[in-house]
Amino acid sequence: QVQLVESGGGSVQAGGSLRLSCAASGYTYAANCMAWFRQAPGKEREAVASIYTGDDSTYVADSVKGRFTISQDNAKKTVYLQMNSLKPEDTAKYYCAVPGYARTCGRWWPNDREYYHWGQGTQVTVSS
């Protein structure tokens, strides 16, 4: 059974940093695409970043480029989202997700309908 467990959320002031973690189990972690999404109340889910665990290649949304970094630890089967210079508009619930079968991340990566397994999410609140 696929399990994705996010952690690391919290409340910070603008300009602060947080590191989110997504621990994966129950599927072939290596050589797969994993992504972070976020959703604020009343807004659509937004793709944040993705990483292909086979070669550490990444995609990052323009809205967070230069501030957020995605990385992974193969031994721990964990993907991280380092968030720096946080802004109030980054406030949202953050989710990690993987597709239903092993695939590389590509131009499809921001499409949430391409992902089958989702974690329960972790809340990030940034105050001004």
pLDDT band at 27 (very low <50, low <70, confident <90, very high): confident
96 pLDDT above the threshold of 90: yes
Q: Are 25 and 14 in contact (CB under 8 A)?
A: no
Distance CA 15, CA 41 (A): 22
What are the pLDDT digits (tens) for 50-89?
999 999 999 999 999 999 999 999 999 999 999 999 999 9
Per-residue confidence (pLDDT) for residue 109, from 0 to 100: 97
Per-residue confidence (pLDDT) for residue 22, from 0 to 100: 98
Phi, psi (5° rounding) for residue 80? Answer: -115, 150
Mean pLDDT over all residues of the chain?
A: 96
